Structure 1
Amino acid sequence: MKSTKRCTEDLYRKILRLQQMHFNEAVVYLSENAELLQTPLIVDHNKFLVGYHSENIRQFAPRYYRMSSIFLHQYKRQN
């Protein structure tokens, strides 16, 4: 296992490298080095979400899943 100092140095180097990148390159880099993020970053084709918003995160689930979730919720409320 790496020492704390070594982990901190590696993390710092990664952050410095990230600051020098163009946006698209940084998105790929962050997807490969998720430990640099304190907030979730979700990317899917033409959708992009930073942070966790329970209502917004549903857009990344397939439509059939969202619909079944709605029906299940309505069913539970009726019974």
Structure 2
Amino acid sequence: MLRLTENGIDDIVKSTKRCTEDLHWKILQLQQMHFNEAIVYLSKNVEMLQTPLIVDHNKFLVGYHSENIRQFAPRYYRMSSIFLHQYKRQG
């Protein structure tokens, strides 16, 4: 999963701007750790991760982005959804 990110662990961890003091402290601790140490720490403190984390073979989405999340739906679903939306607008 991390190989699909641009900034590694920083891309999957919650922002320190909008979190509790305890979570803020944990994130600061995480930023000081070596990679393997950070992975173990994250596995024990999953509340630090942004949600949802959606991973496909070559696609990765962190957080909820209504426009981008559609790429993970099967093509037939996306096409039927587009058709249904257009049908409702016309009628």
Say which SS state the counterpart of residue 46 (structure 1) adopts. coil
Considering only aligned residues, what root-mean-square deviation do their CA atoms show, in Å? 3.5
Show the counterpart of 2:76: 64
Structure 2 gap segments, 5+ residues each: 1-21
> Taking CA–CA contacts closer than 8 Å with sequence separation of 6 or more, which of the two structures ends up with the larger relative contact order?
2
Per-residue deviation, residues 13-45 of structure 1 (Å, max 9, x unmatched) = xx96xx5545xxx4xx76xx5x44243211111
Return structure 1 stretches of 4+ with deviation > 3 angstroms. 19-22
Per-residue deviation, residues 28-70 of structure 1 (Å, max 9, x unmatched) = x76xx5x442432111110001111101000000000000000
Max Rg structure: 1
Structure 1 gap segments, 5+ residues each: 1-7
Structure-1 separation of matches of 2:54 and 2:35: 19
Task: Rate the CA distance shift 1:38–1:50 in 2: closer, same or farther, 3 A.
Answer: closer
With normalisation by structure 1, the TM-score equals 0.57
